[in-house]
Each structure stands twice: as C-alpha cells, then as structure tokens.
Structure 1
Amino acid sequence: MVIIDVSAARDGRQLHAALSQALGFPAFYGMNWDAFWDAITGLVVMPDHVRFLGWDGLAEHLPREAEALRASLDRYQHQYRAQFVAEYR
C-alpha cells in the first residue's frame, strides 16, 4: 500500500507534486490530468492499494482537483485493474 498525504495541497501543482513523488513518476511528468493518466497507465507500476490522507481538506480546498483525481482512479480501476483499491480518508 502507498499512503499519500494530500492535506497540504493548496493548488493543483502541489497536488500533482505529491502524487508524482509518492507514485514514482518520471521527472518529465507534466503535472496535469492527461499526464497523470499516461503515468498511471503506462509509465509506472501502480500499487494495488493507495490510501489518501487529508482527503476532506483536499475536497474542500480543491474540489475540481479532488474530483479529477477520484475519476481518474475510478477509470483506472474499471479499465485496467478491478482489484485496485483507493481509499479517501
């Protein structure tokens, strides 16, 4: 399991930096949702389980970013790995 603390993210760039670091994205990661999709579907090996800490704060401060992240991971689970688990705490 990979634990990602998103509680300090106050803009999209900070969120993408936290995701990139925790999931081991390459240095050329584009810091946007298209690049996130490319990274999780072809550039890195995703863990079986990801737990997000500070989710409520993220959803409050960056609702569009939180929704985009959840939608991307739901799509990843549906299209690529049904056993993938994402927890939002």
Structure 2
Amino acid sequence: MTIDLRGITSKPAFHELVKRELGFPEWYAVGWASWDAFWDCIVAVVQMPPQLTFTNWQEFEQTCPKDMGILRQVMHDYEEYKPGYHMNLA
C-alpha cells in the first residue's frame, strides 16, 4: 500500500490522511493528533498491510521536521515490533 504525502504540511493533515487511508476508527485524530494513538492503531486496532510506503514525504519533513523524526522512529520501532511488516519512505 502507498500513501502519498504530497501537500501534507502539518501534523493534523498527516493524521487525517492516515486515518482515511488506513481505516482508523472515527475517534482517531478528532480535534487533535497523537503519535501515541497512531502507534496504538497500527499495532492493535487496524489490520495493517504487510508493506506501507509513504511517497512525496519531503514537504512534510521540511514543514514538520520534528514530526517527521517521530514518524521515522515509529517506522523503525514498528518493524521491530511486527516482524514481517514494513513501512518505508520512497
């Protein structure tokens, strides 16, 4: 599965996009965006695809470097937590 981050320039926009694309529950990212809730959803709430690729992530990294750093760490931790499942940047 591929999620295109083109035009995503804020943390709330990122969380709304992944909510829609990955089928997160309705309560996710309502009025706020939490990396803890993102983690909970990808490891315990939704059925994740074996391969998830984020494309066109550079603008998000430029406008939200702290959040991009958190996303990179989540991606690393996710692969250790769920062997056989992968997230990457392309």
TM-score interval, smaller chain: 0.7 to 0.9
Shift of 1:73: 1.9
In structure 2, the partner of 1:66 is 68
Q: Is the 8 A contact 2:22 2:46 kept in 1?
A: yes
CA RMSD of aligned residues (A): 1.2
Counterpart Cα distance in 1 of 2:78 and 2:87: 10
Aligned length: 87
TM-score normalised by L of structure 2: 0.87
Match of 2:18 in 1: 19
Q: What TM-score do you get using the length of structure 1 for normalisation?
A: 0.88
Structure 1 stretches of 4+ with a deviation exceeding 6 A read none
- Are the counterparts in 2 of residues 5 and 18 from structure 1 also a CA contact under 8 Å? no
CA distance in 2, matches of 1:86, 1:76: 8
Matches within 5 A, 1:1-89: 2-30=1-29, 31-79=33-81, 81-89=82-90
Deviation at 1:53, TM superposition (A): 1.2
Secondary structure of residue in 1 paired with 2:58: helix
CA contact (8 A) 2:24 2:45 kept: yes
**How far does residue 25 in structure 1 lie from its aligned partner after superposition?**
0.2
Q: How much does 1:47 deviate?
A: 0.7
User: How many Å apart are 1:87 and its aligned residue?
Assistant: 2.3
CA distance in 2, matches of 1:68, 1:14: 15
**Long gaps (5+) in structure 1:** none
State whether residues 6 and 55 of structure 1, in contact with CA within 8 Å, keep that contact through their aligned partners in structure 2. Answer: yes
